[in-house]
Structure 1
Amino acid sequence: MSITILVVDDNESIRFTLKEICQYAEWNVLEAGNGKDAVTLFEKMNPDLVLMDYHLPNGDGITTTKDIRKHNEHVPIIVLTVDERQEVADSFMKAGATDFALKPIKAPDLISRIRLNLKVSKLTEEHSSAFVDKGIKQDTLMSIKNHLLYQEEAITIDEIKESLPIAYQTVHRYLNYLEGKGEVEVVSQYGKKGRPKNRYRLI
């Protein structure tokens, strides 16, 4: 199963390092440089795990953790910070973080922590999975959502199919599923003749 990690840190070089580590472990990576973007990205993409910094613009890590918890009770949130104070760790755990580590963290240690948190999360969610809908696979859903995320304008099913190795009927079914969940907007484009052409974009 494809795993997606959301890296939240205002330091671009740290985000790059964390991204390299995650990609080495063959995980997909989403990036956010502040709390507000992190929550927006989380709502749209529903990643499998979050790596959270403490000091962030537009909402610090604790506030951002609380906001993410409003949308998902189970996703693992691993805090990475240089702040050694116990009260900071306690505040994060109270906000809903699942793990806490001091920077700089070595790549093997981080990978081990992520794997452990994912394993625990999977056990927790076995009976309350968000992907229980018949025929909906998380890998395919994330591929389509990830593709839509980076489009500046609404696009057609054909345009999605050209970029992803997914059949037209499958793309259509997943877009209908996402529309039903209120995550995708359908934009009808009317031409001079024939039926309107539907375009899709993430909300």
Structure 2
Amino acid sequence: MTKILIVDDDEKIRFTLREISKFAGFESIAVDNGKQALAQLGEEDFDLVLVDYYMPEMDGLETVKAMREINREIPVVILTVDERPETVSRFFAAGATDFSLKPVRAADLISRLQINLKLSQMTQLQKEKKREVLTAKGISPSTLQLIIDFLQKQAGPVTLEEIMEGVGLAYPTVYRYITHLLDEGWIYTLSNYRKIGRPKNQYVWKGIDHG
């Protein structure tokens, strides 16, 4: 059963949100502040978090930012009476997935929750399929991320030898992963023409401008 974490300092609203969740077929746990929410998120698995914007001590934005340190993928929907564009932008900058307006309307809220849960499920399925494809190609996600992190930190083009030294992996391994990144279009090649010998290929993470 889908499990939702509800965070709101108003007892009546917590009760209402739990009843709405129950009606929609969701299991829910409700807490009254951000610190309790972080503790729950660290101890249990949830499918979505519903958090109030205006709360004492630790407001919704602070709570969401702290949640993203624990879980970067869980959908987080903020409840708010303030729908000004600048406020909504702050929600998304903090790491929220969506927002829903107060006063709460059951049908609207359930629709929001269902949409965000569906999108989250689709994202997870895509990631699982991607992992399966990588495994079939002999690509380890952790090793791939190691090389990607190295490339993203570079101020300029790097050779295979520099990548090997930077990540501590052998030539055949680095070559296989660089070939994969080229095939996926995540990096591109620059040829360094020297006075003697063949040009030496260098690799650049896309998005870096080298003129």
Structure 1 and Structure 2 fold alike (TM over 0.5): yes
Do the aligned partners of residues 6 and 24 (structure 1) sit closer, same or farther apart at CA in structure 2, a change above 3 Å counting?
same
Larger radius of gyration: 2
What secondary structure is seen at the aligned counterpart in 1 of 2:88? helix
Question: Map of 1:118-133 to 2, 5 A cutoff?
Answer: 118-128=117-127
Unaligned 5+ residue runs, structure 2? 129-211
Deviation for aligned residue 1:20: 0.2
Matches within 5 A, 1:18-167: 18-128=17-127
SS at match of 2:63: helix
Q: Per-residue deviation at 1:21?
A: 0.3
Q: Tell me, what secondary structure is at the counterpart of 2:22?
A: helix
- Secondary structure of 1:38's counterpart equals helix
Structure 1 vs Structure 2: percent identity of aligned residues? 47
Shift of 1:34: 0.5
RMSD between aligned residues: 1.7
- TM-score with structure 1 length normalisation? 0.60
Q: Which has the higher contact order (CA 8 A, sep 6+)?
A: 1
Tell me, which stretches of 5 or more residues in structure 1 are unaligned? 130-203
Distance in 2, matches of 1:37 and 1:87, equals 28
Secondary structure of the equivalent of 2:74? coil
Amino acid at match of 1:37: Q
The code of the aligned residue for 1:31 comes to A
**Alignment TM-score, normalising by the size of structure 2:** 0.58
Q: Answer whether contact 2:38 2:67 (CA < 8 A) is retained.
A: yes
Distance in 1 (CA, whole Å) between partners of 2:32 and 2:103 is 18
Residue deviations 1:25-52 (CA, integer Å, cap 9, x gap):
1111011101110111111112100111
The structural deviation recorded for 1:75 is 0.8
The Cα shift of 1:87 comes to 2.1
Aligned residue-pair number: 129
Q: Distance in 1 between matches of 2:48 and 2:23?
A: 16
Whole-Å separation in 2 of the counterparts to 1:128 and 1:30: 28
Structure number with the higher helix fraction is: 2
